[in-house]
Amino acid sequence: MAGASVKVAVRVRPFNSRETNRNARCIIQMKDNTTCISNPKQPKDGAKNFTFDYSYWSHTTVEEPDFVSQEQVYKDIGEEMLLHAFEGYNVCIFAYGQTGGGKSYTMMGRQEPGQEGIIPQMCEDLFRRTGENTDPDLQYSVEVSYMEIYCERVRDLLNPSNPLRVREHPILGPYVEDLSKLAVTCFSDVHELMDAGNQARTVAATNMNETSSRSHAVFTIVFTQRRRDQMTGLDTEKVSKISLVDLAGSERADSSGAKGTRLKEGANINKSLTTLGKVISALAEMGCKKRKSDFIPYRDSVLTWLLKENLGGNSRTAMIAALSPADINYEETLSTLRYADRAKQIRCNAVINEDPNAKLIRELKEEVTRLRDLLFSQGLHELLVCVCVCSDVKSFYYRKQRR
């Protein structure tokens, strides 16, 4: 799993009321995994094509055969990342795009059947899978936290108080000191916490969006799997950190109509997203082996500092770029596509997060399987039987000695 690239999807939404009122024209086309954008001012220049892992056409109505639903987005991206979490990897999904592009809808969705976003679907799927466990030697625990980064300060959405401090652990990387981490035992517990956090999140109206998110939101799940190995009697543990990020919208001041406080918010949002762009570009160049960068500006913003492990570090990561289909948003949409195109070149170095006992047992079992297959391939079946008998006797003796 080490060295896997960031998985990238783009999703185009329907026209909003502002675009409809201005008789906007659709400049986005999609075919298979390719997304095509046309310049409305210079149509003769030809369209620009971008290829991603997924190109999601959600511009039309649900009834259209090519429409991509919330469920399909989760099935392609969220479910894969959840399976990686069960394997013991850290995972991250983040949504990027201009204000009103559909990021929050993709990540959180609405509380209506079929409208749930990736975050509630993943939480429900997580508890469904753990509830189906019938192994008495395997136990699960789940903890969640929810925070926002507003004007370069971190705020706990589950326990709003004074701004929190970001620190860096020498092994585990950046973390937020004193951030609430609440144990949950079912999806309804998570649902209540999500509702409370969403109500506490900083939003405001702009020309681009009536309920524009003025902060970056990070919903984190710490998923722990504990297993008792019957052969050795040892307890082993795997811990996965699932980071689900809804970024604030990128925007230009003249487009958003921002003034006063809104203008200051926009400046901070754009600063953090500009830093994110620099980090993505530097990591993409490293991924393409164009040059070896000795400096990635993670610490230039709180957002990129906290996403350090998810961008080029110990994580399996996916990015969803939310697109406006309208010609009036051509520049912003093209910028989003270029961000996404660079992000797919980033390579992360994910490893299974397990304690030394779990790692040793897993590696020994993998070696036993490899040797067993080798004996079979050489036709040494009788020797394999002797090995299995000796192993059983040794295991019996080991358990007896422990008693």
Annotation says 359 is catalytic:
no
Burial 155-182 (b: 16+ CB within 10 A, else e): bbbbbeeeebebeeeeeebbebeebbee
Helix (H) or strand (E) holding 64: none
Annotated binding residue 293: no
HEC-encoded secondary structure of 280-313: HHHHHHHHCCCCCCCCCCHHHCHHHHHCCCCCCC
User: What is the CB neighbour count within 10 angstroms for residue 320?
Assistant: 26
Annotated binding residue 98: yes
Annotation says 266 is catalytic:
no
Annotation says 69 is catalytic:
no
CA gap 156, 149 in Å, rounded: 9
Annotation says 114 is catalytic:
no
Annotated binding residue 97: yes
**Catalytic pick among 38, 104, 250, 281:** 104
Annotation says 102 is catalytic:
yes
**Catalytic pick among 96, 105, 298, 339:** 105
Residue 142 pairs in a beta bridge with 184, 223
Encoding tokens for residue 134? Answer: 């019938």
Annotated binding residue 69: no
8-state DSSP, 158: S
Residue 141 sits at φ, ψ, to 5 deg, of -140, 145
User: What is the CB neighbour count within 10 angstroms for residue 316?
Assistant: 23
Q: 238 near 350, Cβ under 8 Å?
A: no
Q: Angle at CA 312, nearest 5°, toward 342 and 202?
A: 80
* Pairing mode, strands 7-12 and 54-57: parallel
Return the closest-CA partner of residue 325 out of 20, 27, 16, 19. 27
Residue 382 pairs in a beta bridge with none
CA gap 26, 65 in Å, rounded: 18
Annotated binding residue 225: no
- Give the neighbor-by-neighbor strand order of the sheet with 28-31: 28-31, 34-37, 48-51
Residue 184 pairs in a beta bridge with 142
8-state DSSP, 244: E
Annotated binding residue 3: no
Annotation says 197 is catalytic:
no
Q: 316 near 351, Cβ under 8 Å?
A: no
Annotation says 48 is catalytic:
no
Residues comprising the chain, all counted: 403
Reduced to 3 states (helix: H, G, I; strand: E, B; else coil), residue 393 is helix
CA gap 387, 380 in Å, rounded: 11
Point out the annotated binding site: 97-104
Q: Which residues carry out catalysis?
A: 100, 102-105, 246, 249
**Binding annotation for ATP:** 97-104
